[in-house]
Structure 1
Amino acid sequence: MQAAKAGRAWLAGLASVAVLTMTACANSAAPVQQPASPAANLTPAEIEHKAKTEGTVVSVGMPDSWANWKDTWNDLGSKYGLKHTDTDMSSAEEIAKFEAEKNNPTADIGDVGIAFGPVAVEKGVTQPYKTSYWDEIPAWAKDTDGHWIVGYQGSISLITNKELVKNPPKSWADIKNGDYKVAVGDVTKAAQAQMAVLAAAIAFGGDEKNIQPGIDFFAELAKQGRISLADVKVASFEKGEIPVGLLWDFNALGYRDQIDPNRFEVNIPQEGSVVSGYATIINKYAPHPHAAMLTREYILSDAGQINLAKGYARPIRDSVKLPDEVAKKLIPKEQYANAKPIQDYKAWEETAKKLPQLWQEQVLANMK
């Protein structure tokens, strides 16, 4: 996963979620009536046949460079003859496009941060398709009717420059007992940085409704003069400006391999972290609906999950056996034992609104 794509970080633009949700509520008085999903009563083989007849799949927010989508599109072309085009855009933009083009649709499928899945459903722009892998998808990672399904997940991790820190931290306790600076990013604006605070909160007994344990942890670091204000971009790590950073694991692993795998170490903090993910949504008005369904089916297949893992995205299906050369680039599965998914995104949305002020008053105000 390339750093240039980091602007699409998990849950990016929660303000957009609020705006879209309010718009959906405003429009709820006159919902658009749509036919039942084309998947109704069709077998996977029939969907595949119809997809081949359609011959094309048009995606949004699924460019070649993100999560190694390139290999998936190549596979869909070679195996099923599907031609593919993509327009890269944010989660909010994808949903807006589906709705704006409902009378003259161009897109079939999109990839959105999990927080945007329910928003897309509320807007009435999705159609359900559960796929044959439905039972293997965790409950937190799917809409009960199949309107959105997470294909890959990520957790907040610790990336350490081993030239600057001889004993890379493997836990929040290690950080607490260290003497180096830690870069979190801009908690007042960046979703990734806000999720890092939530990860710390989870580790110390909090959750999406109670962020205070995370605030307290970073406030203590601030009092010690150990919060780095460096930008958590690949260039800052490359220049040696950050001893330890908090990033999504897919970003951290990508940075590590892009700069020097021997210079950096990436770990999931032992006491706990947060899990989030990206979900496919199929356009209710898709011009190639069966091709979109076949795409979702393939994304969740073993081959599709391995393709994503090649781009540092952790598969959502635990049963997938990754090739050794792919698995060794990822963080060992056992490190994720205490990483927990958000259970209440409405609650997190409210907490995220308050977080910038809490950060300024209790962390930045104590900076040395």
Structure 2
Amino acid sequence: MLKHKIVWGLAVLTIIGLGGCAKSSAENTSNNWHTIVKQAKKEGTIRSVGMPNSWANWGGTWDNIRNQYKIFHSDTDMSSAEALQKFKSEGTSKNAPDMSDIGLNVCPTAVKQNLLTKYKTKYWNQIPNWAKDKDGYWAAGYTGTIAFITDTKDVKASQAPKSWKQLAKGNYKVAIGDVGMGAQSQYALLAAAYANGGNEKNLKPGLNFFAKLKKENRISAADTTIQNLQKGELPVTVLWDFNALNYAHQINSKRYKITIPTDGTVSSGYAEVINKDAPHPYAAKLARSYILSNKGQINLAEGYARPIRKGVKLPESAKRKLLPSSDYKKVFHVKDNAAWDKVTLKLGDLWRKDVLGAK
């Protein structure tokens, strides 16, 4: 899934340099809700990148927006880095994307590159501080928390790891994916670091953890895809909770055991950002607001993603798709997204040197 890959192209994007500072049409649009609705209906179109129907139930959201506001949607799936590059390369072209869904760790880059439009929506105060930019350039719509998914065809359910400590003592292969490319893989490494006393500025405990697994020949080279999971090539996989739940549901929920590591994990999210040169800025603002509304948050939960707003009352159908809140015992959040953004650019080299090179 392209959504998992965020780092490729970020270095190129940074080298290109800051964009022009001229005010765009999107930046000059009104934030009055009645005006947004009226003008969005006139635009009648919204074009996104990296927001495919199959991810976090975006399809349900786009259907609702079309049915309620007569705004028609199209998407091209791509990584967060590719989305930001698309924002920049298209400029004020009529074919430029209006919005995207990007990992929080690349949001500081998007702000520095002057690629985004500020818009807080009326739900701003209900979003935790760790999940939003103080000026309104970005805010998470949903969270992802690093989890373990165990294939009980390969590992007995009783031996499914519930903590990093238990995972370290196992005799099965562990898949984490491509740390040099994937957001999910990078947060998996970060979660291991936090659980062992590190953080986004000190990844050594996480690198040491996986280096030990490498010495024991326990790191799987298989990609963390639903196809490999179904084929039985992933005994234990470290990935976002919403992907674990979604994959298990699509294959056979009874076959898998999903656990949140009790000795520490990381929760982050994805932010629905608006291109400052959006050809349909009002439709983009309407979509961002709808995503944060009660209906929008419920749609995300129906796609196995935990809503960012805690006060939304979920129907039973959505609750059943999520793990109990009591499973999330020790959850960390990145405190310095700018620092984490810089670190992710180095993770591929660090992984190859400190983990894959371990003997």
Normalised to the residue count of structure 2, the TM-score between the two structures is: 0.90
Matches within 5 A, 1:270-309: 270-309=262-301
**Alpha-carbon distance, 1:109 to partner:** 2.0
- Over residues 8-59 of structure 1, what are the superposed CA-to-partner deviations in whole Å (9 max), with x where a residue is unaligned? 11xx33252232223234x5xx53344683454x432332222223322222
Return the letter of the residue paired with 1:20: L
Is contact 1:38-1:289 (8 Å) kept? no
2:97 aligned with 1:102: no
Is contact 1:154-1:248 (8 Å) kept? yes
Is contact 1:17-1:115 (8 Å) kept? no
| 2-structure distance, mates of 1:108, 1:309 | 24
For the aligned residue pairs, the C-alpha RMSD in angstroms reads: 2.3
Q: Out of 317, 322, 332, which is 2:314 matched to?
A: 322
2:159 aligned with 1:196: no
Is contact 2:7-2:182 (8 Å) kept? no
Is contact 1:91-1:111 (8 Å) kept? yes
Q: Out of 132, 141, 146, which is 1:151 matched to?
A: 141
2:340 aligned with 1:345: no
Is contact 1:24-1:122 (8 Å) kept? no
| 2-structure distance, mates of 1:295, 1:139 | 21
| 2-structure distance, mates of 1:143, 1:365 | 38
Q: Out of 26, 33, 50, which is 1:44 matched to?
A: 33
**Alpha-carbon distance, 1:269 to partner:** 0.6
Q: What is the match of residue 90 of structure 1?
A: 79
Return the letter of the residue paired with 1:275: S
- Over residues 102-153 of structure 1, what are the superposed CA-to-partner deviations in whole Å (9 max), with x where a residue is unaligned? 3333332222222332222222232211101000111121122212221112
Change beyond 3 A, Cα 1:183–1:57: closer
Change beyond 3 A, Cα 1:138–1:292: same
Q: What is the match of residue 21 of structure 1?
A: 14
Q: 1:363 aligns to what SS in structure 2? A: helix
Gaps of 5+ in 1: 1-5
**Alpha-carbon distance, 1:337 to partner:** 3.6
**Alpha-carbon distance, 1:305 to partner:** 0.9
Change beyond 3 A, Cα 1:159–1:292: same
Return the letter of the residue paired with 2:151: N
Q: What is the match of residue 238 of structure 2?
A: 246
Is contact 1:160-1:245 (8 Å) kept? yes
Q: Out of 44, 49, 61, which is 2:50 matched to?
A: 61
2:2 aligned with 1:7: yes
Is contact 1:112-1:278 (8 Å) kept? yes
Q: What is the match of residue 77 of structure 1?
A: 66
Is contact 1:17-1:92 (8 Å) kept? yes
Q: 2:283 aligns to what SS in structure 1? A: helix
Return the letter of the residue paired with 2:179: V
**Alpha-carbon distance, 1:177 to partner:** 3.1
Change beyond 3 A, Cα 1:350–1:132: closer
Is contact 2:102-2:270 (8 Å) kept? yes
Change beyond 3 A, Cα 1:105–1:125: farther
Is contact 1:230-1:241 (8 Å) kept? yes
| 1-structure distance, mates of 2:83, 2:356 | 35
**Alpha-carbon distance, 1:288 to partner:** 2.3
Q: What is the match of residue 102 of structure 2?
A: 112
**Alpha-carbon distance, 1:200 to partner:** 0.5
Once the two structures are overlaid, the 10-residue window that deviates more, 127-136 or 114-123, is: 114-123
| 1-structure distance, mates of 2:316, 2:190 | 32
Is contact 2:7-2:180 (8 Å) kept? no
2:224 aligned with 1:211: no
Q: Out of 210, 220, 228, which is 1:228 matched to?
A: 220
Change beyond 3 A, Cα 1:208–1:291: same
| 2-structure distance, mates of 1:130, 1:90 | 24
**Alpha-carbon distance, 1:287 to partner:** 2.7
Q: Out of 229, 249, 253, which is 1:237 matched to?
A: 229
- Over residues 158-195 of structure 1, what are the superposed CA-to-partner deviations in whole Å (9 max), with x where a residue is unaligned? 00012322212111122133332322223354443232
Q: Out of 303, 310, 334, which is 1:311 matched to?
A: 303
Return the letter of the residue paired with 1:247: L
Matches within 5 A, 1:114-133: 114-133=104-123
Change beyond 3 A, Cα 1:54–1:260: same
Is contact 2:25-2:281 (8 Å) kept? no
- Over residues 207-247 of structure 1, what are the superposed CA-to-partner deviations in whole Å (9 max), with x where a residue is unaligned? 01111111222233333343333332223222223221111
Equivalent residues, number: 356
Normalised to the residue count of structure 1, the TM-score between the two structures is: 0.88
| 2-structure distance, mates of 1:175, 1:278 | 27
Change beyond 3 A, Cα 1:341–1:266: same
Q: 1:112 aligns to what SS in structure 2? A: strand
% identity of equivalent residues: 48
